[in-house]
Amino acid sequence: MKIKCVAIDDEPLAIKQISSYIEKTPFLEQVALCQSAFEALELLEEKEVDLLFVDINMPDLNGLDFVKSLNKRPQIIFTTAYSEYAIEGFQVDAIDYLLKPIAYTSFLKAVNKARMWFEIKLQKTLVDNELNKELFVKSEHKIVRIVLSDILYIESANEYIRIHLDNNEVITTLMRLKNIEEQLSNTHFMRVHRSFIVALDKIKEIERNRIIMGHKIVIPVGDQYRDVFQEYMDKKMQ
């Protein structure tokens, strides 16, 4: 992802330096350069911006007051020649505080913090969207709505599958495990055995080649699924 940036500083040399740093950083995208807080206010009404580099010492409206005035606030990295503003800067939840003259190493460290924040936010959004998903299945002459976040695991039973929910309810429907596996691709579910799909966020423990789910349910990990499951776990444990 590209982080859309705006630099705000009334000093031409300072804003030029920030601009050059933005341009040499691959995951940053420069939207505009502003020489006053008022110019930035107008810009933010028209443009979507993720990150602001804000000089604190500016005439008319200083950087701190400018940030406090924003209703919809992008992430903030303050820049200033005066270290005494650091505490106030962090009180408005700034990502970081850069003291002039700014070395590129310091700049990069600050923007990497910002990138981490955006990645966490994006991941949370994806998870939230995923957990709100639902599916509809036929069961006992009815069509049943199932919220994906309610599913504990899914079990194959010949031509049928049994969908086990957190509340111990089991919904049986005429469907192959392979078909529902395809529907659940790119979600928080994984097939771990020829007969089982599990909700990864419901795993309680892993003991050898067995997964312990909620309600002390034990799910075996099949040989052909072991490497993929282990790769997933290795990433989670880094």
Please give the structure tokens belonging to residue 166: 């957190």
Looking up residue 84, the CATH number of its domain turns out to be 3.40.50.2300
Please state the domain count of the chain: 2
Dmax over CA atoms of the chain, in Å, equals: 75
- Same-domain status, 34 and 149: no
- Same-domain status, 24 and 136: no
**Residue-level pLDDT at 72:** 87
Band of residue 62 on the pLDDT scale cut at 50, 70, 90: confident
**Residue-level pLDDT at 215:** 83
Domain boundary at 108, 129, 150, which?
129
Mean pLDDT of the chain: 89
- Same-domain status, 24 and 67: yes
- Same-domain status, 226 and 154: yes
Give the mean model confidence (pLDDT) for residues 6-28.
96
Q: How far apart are CA 235 and CA 186, in angstroms?
A: 16
**Residue-level pLDDT at 206:** 93
Question: Distance of CA 42 to CAs 57, 65, 182, Å?
Answer: 19, 16, 47
Band of residue 10 on the pLDDT scale cut at 50, 70, 90: very high
- Same-domain status, 30 and 125: yes
Give the mean model confidence (pLDDT) for residues 81-92.
68
Question: Distance of CA 12 to CAs 9, 15, 19, 110, 135, Å?
Answer: 7, 5, 10, 21, 56
Which comes out higher in pLDDT, residue 188 or 83? 188
- Same-domain status, 122 and 175: no
Residue 105 pLDDT > 60, yes or no?
Answer: yes
- Same-domain status, 147 and 110: no
Please give the structure tokens belonging to residue 185: 């691709």
- Same-domain status, 86 and 189: no
**Residue-level pLDDT at 59:** 86
- Same-domain status, 138 and 122: no
DSSP 83: G
Domain boundary at 129, 160, 185, which?
129
Which comes out higher in pLDDT, residue 36 or 122? 36
Query: For residue 136, what are the domain limits?
Result: 132-236
Give DSSP secondary structure letters for the chain: -PEEEEEE-S-HHHHHHHHHHHHHSTTEEEEEEESSHHHHHHHHHHS--SEEEEES--SSS-HHHHHHH-SS--EEEEEES-GGGHHHHHHTT-SEEEESSPPHHHHHHHHHHHHHHHHHHHHHHHHHHHHT-EEEEEETTEEEEEEGGGEEEEEEETTEEEEEETTS-EEEEE--HHHHHHHTTTSSEEEEETTEEEEGGGEEEEETTEEEEGGG-EEEPPGGGHHHHHHHHHHHT-
Q: Compute the residue count for the chain.
A: 238
Give the mean model confidence (pLDDT) for residues 151-180.
94
Give the mean model confidence (pLDDT) for residues 25-41.
96
Q: What is the pLDDT of residues 109-155, one digit of tens each?
A: 999 999 999 888 877 666 665 655 888 899 988 999 998 889 999 99
- Same-domain status, 90 and 27: yes
Share of the chain above pLDDT 90, in %: 65
Q: What is the pLDDT of residues 173-222, one digit of tens each?
A: 999 999 999 888 777 899 999 999 999 989 999 988 899 998 889 999 99
- Same-domain status, 149 and 179: yes
**Residue-level pLDDT at 125:** 65
**Residue-level pLDDT at 40:** 95
Looking up residue 213, the CATH number of its domain turns out to be 2.40.50.1020
Domain boundary at 100, 129, 158, which?
129
- Same-domain status, 105 and 17: yes
